[in-house]
């Protein structure tokens, strides 16, 4: 899902286990795509609030191979 600048979408985690977030989503902050996780918490005074974290999206990609060429000193034209 692509988000417009400074917008996002958050969805309830219906399969929450353990300390997983109650809600997850993706947001775009000043043109940068981020993942957001929210936990519903309650303060000692009974006030409900969200605790959140932002992370860069996880990319399940292999790193691109970089080709390098070694130039010997004798190969330099000067």
Domains of the chain, residue spans: 8-75
Q: What are the beta bridge partners of residue 32?
A: 29
pTM higher than 0.75: no
Q: Which residues contact 54 (CB under 8 A, 6 or more apart)?
A: 27, 29, 34, 35, 36
CA distances from 78 to 18, 69, 71, 72, 73 (A): 65, 18, 13, 12, 10
Model confidence pLDDT, tens digit, residues 11-38: 999 999 999 999 999 999 999 999 999 9
């Amino acid at each position: 899902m692509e988000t417009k600048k400074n917008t996002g979408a958050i969805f309830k985690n219906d399969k929450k286990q353990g300390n997983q977030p109650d809600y997850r989503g993706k947001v775009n902050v000043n043109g940068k795509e981020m993942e957001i996780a929210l936990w519903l918490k309650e303060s000692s005074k009974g006030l409900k609030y969200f605790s959140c974290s932002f992370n860069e999206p996880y990319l399940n990609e292999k790193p691109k191979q970089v080709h390098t060429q070694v130039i010997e000193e004798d190969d330099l034209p000067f």
